[in-house]
Each structure stands twice: as structure tokens, then as C-alpha cells.
Amino acid sequence: MAKTVQERSAKAAQKRQAVAEKELRHKVRPGIEQAMERIRLRGKVPIISEVLQIAIMKMDLMADDELAAFLSYPRHEIVIRENVAREFHNQSLAELRRDPGDEVATPSVNSGVF
């Protein structure tokens, strides 16, 4: 005889409790959801939750410095070349000579790349 929906639900709840399974909820924006779906398809993993579990297990195996580098957000690095800084400095001085305003301050340029 087939089990009822309530019986199946009760058995599933007992199994979850026996293995101390927890349900975690996490809200994501559409771009993250799309990225997770692409990763799921590329990895040929049927369920997103499996992708996340595998990722967490693999991150747990990483060395501390490797994990810190992996988890850091990519940041844009702004590099101002010396010739651009020099030209900006010269133009700033020219503008100050043209219209000094209330105070006259000479900008200083540090040596090297900014």
C-alpha cells in the first residue's frame, strides 16, 4: 500500500533530524543567480544546492592565504602614470596663476607612479 503525503513528509523530517540537516536561506540578485546557473550547467551538477555544498567543501580544504585570495572581491586598481601626474600638476599651477582664489597653495607631486 502506498504511503500518504503526510507519512512521506514525516519520514523525510525524521531523516533530516537524524542527520542534523539544516535549511539555509540566502537571497541573491539576478546576476548571482545567473552565474550560479552557468556554473551548475558547466559542472553538470543537477541541483544548485549541490554546487554550493561542493564549493564550500572545496573552500574548506584551501590554505588560509589561498582562501583569503579566493574570497577577496576583485578591485579596480587606478594607476596614474608619471607623465599624466606631471601634466595635471602643470595645468593646476597654470590655473592657480590665472585665478589664485582666496589661497595660493603649491601642489606637490610625489615621485613615482600614483
Long-range pairs for 17-21 at CB < 8 Å and ≥24 separation?
none
CA 53 to chain centre: 18
Q: Is the pLDDT of residue 113 over 70?
A: no
Q: Do you know the residue count of the chain?
A: 114
The amino acid occupying position 42 is R
pLDDT score of 86: 94
Q: Is the pLDDT of residue 42 over 90?
A: yes
Domain locations in the chain? 24-108
Confidence class for position 98, pLDDT limits 50, 70, 90: confident
Q: Is the pLDDT of residue 105 over 80?
A: no
3-state class percentages of the chain: helix first, strand second, coil last, to nearest 5: 60, 0, 40
∠ CA 107-94-90, rounded to 5°: 55
Please tell me whether the overall predicted TM-score, pTM, comes out greater than 0.75 for this model.
no
Q: Is the pLDDT of residue 101 over 70?
A: yes
